[in-house]
Amino acid sequence: MTYHAKSEFMRVMIERGYLADATDIQALDEALKDGPVTAYIGYDATAASLHVGHLLNIMMLRWFQKTGHKPITLMGGGTTKVGDPSFRSDERPLLTEDQIQSNIDGMQKVFARYLDYGEDKARMLNNAEWLDNLNYLEFLRDIGRHFSVNRMLSFESVKSRLDREQSLSFLEFNYMILQAYDFLELNRRYDCKLQMGGSDQWGNIINGIDLTRRVLDHEIWGLTSPLLTTSDGRKMGKSAGGAVWLNGDMLSPYDFWQFWRNTTDADVGRFLKLYTELPVEECDRLGSLEGQAINDAKIILANAVTTLLHGAEAAASAEATARKVFEEGGAGGDLAEVFVTIPPEGITANAALVESGLVASGKEGKRAFQGGSVKFNNEKKTDPQEIIATEDLLAGIKVSLGAKKHFMLKGKQA
């Protein structure tokens, strides 16, 4: 991006790597320079917690507020009932209202860590407020007439699904109209002039801009962030153990810290710019280090990101536990706990790994034992059929799978 921004927010977006695209970037930049602007990002309530894949856009909202503007976190209590079809191969499972509200309750915990809510500050809204009571015929006449089916079919998020001859329900097809209507309502009610989101939301954002201009004749804008992959090609937010959740009751602060500590060398500088508030020059310096120094930079990254989400005390505790595990060989106090039921006849080492979910199958477990990558309380184990002492399991055993995966295995009697 060669554009030279005038507003502080756009400078941050460009310098730190948040910007993928924007509509009329010069007019948006001027508006941001001239005074406080209100912007929103929407979050459908499809799970009980946000995950690391959401963190980039949460950081954008944080920077938006830090540079003097007013962010809105829009919870999709209404749109979740439909489900976003963008770049999916099948329809999302329909959730009940109770499930949606429970998910919203879980997701809201994270935002308060990053944004300052209150009068004339950040707002948290729910689109069910205006979507739940729509009159269908009025909505078709007043809103639906502004949408061209031909154009909607041309959006890549829909086109890719149809090109694969995969079904797209009428319910899902309405999603982009409802999301566009969100932008119209937020502009009308709160003078919201900017929608932000991942680049996969570009088509939905454009729809909202067009609708608002047609109905209200207001100038509004859209801004998207890149869809991140790690340097080794993996989708950001996924790990070998599944999604990296942001809620501490779904992923411990220690495991969250470890996710960032295990960042690939080539990603350290980029992730420092995107997920921390360290100065850009310092991020570049740390990212250029090599050898042991780059590992120290990864600890700085892990501490900074964990502090933002879970607090400085949790970050310090995670680092102390990691040092005890890796450098001193101790068990530490914050290892992720996994549980196994102990049958009356006892349980073998391999069966304990399988039953607790640490390995996917008995075959995978046997290979781990034969390869010498399994340790119980720092002692290498090679016999998958060894019976584990019940009293040891009840007390808890530190299980190491290779050099980087450490767990506390605890037993309970059948």
Task: Quote the CA–CA distance of 299 and 257 in Å, as a whole number.
Answer: 9
pTM of the predicted model as reported, rounded to 2 decimal places = 0.79
Tell me the per-residue pLDDT of 402-414, one tens digit each, with 9 for 90 and over.
Answer: 877 788 888 887 6
Q: Which fold has domain 337-413?
A: 3.10.290
Per DSSP bridges, beta strands 347-348 and 38-44 are unpaired
Tell me the per-residue pLDDT of 136-148, one tens digit each, with 9 for 90 and over.
Answer: 899 989 998 998 8
Residue 157, Cα to own-chain centre: how many angstroms? 20
Instruction: Give the E-state strand segments of 45-86 in sequence order.
Output: 70-76
pLDDT in tens, the chain (414 residues): 578 999 999 999 999 999 999 999 999 999 999 989 999 999 999 888 999 999 999 999 999 999 999 999 999 999 898 876 665 545 567 888 899 999 999 999 899 999 999 888 999 999 999 999 999 899 989 998 998 888 877 777 677 777 777 777 777 778 889 999 999 999 999 999 999 999 988 988 999 999 999 999 999 999 999 988 877 677 776 554 567 899 998 888 988 998 899 899 999 999 999 999 999 999 999 999 998 899 999 999 999 999 999 999 999 999 988 887 665 555 555 666 777 888 888 899 998 888 777 777 788 889 889 888 898 988 889 998 999 988 888 888 888 888 777 888 888 876
Q: Which fold has domain 252-326?
A: Tyrosyl-Transfer RNA Synthetase (1.10.240)
Task: Look up residue 386 and give its DSSP letter.
Answer: P
CATH class of 8-225: alpha beta
- Domain chopping of the chain, boundaries: 8-225, 252-326, 337-413
Which positions ≥6 away from 70 have C-beta within 8 Å?
A: 36, 37, 38, 39, 64, 120, 121, 122, 123
Helix then strand then coil, in percent of the chain rounded to 5, is 50, 15, 35
Judge contact between 353 and 364, C-beta under 8 A: no
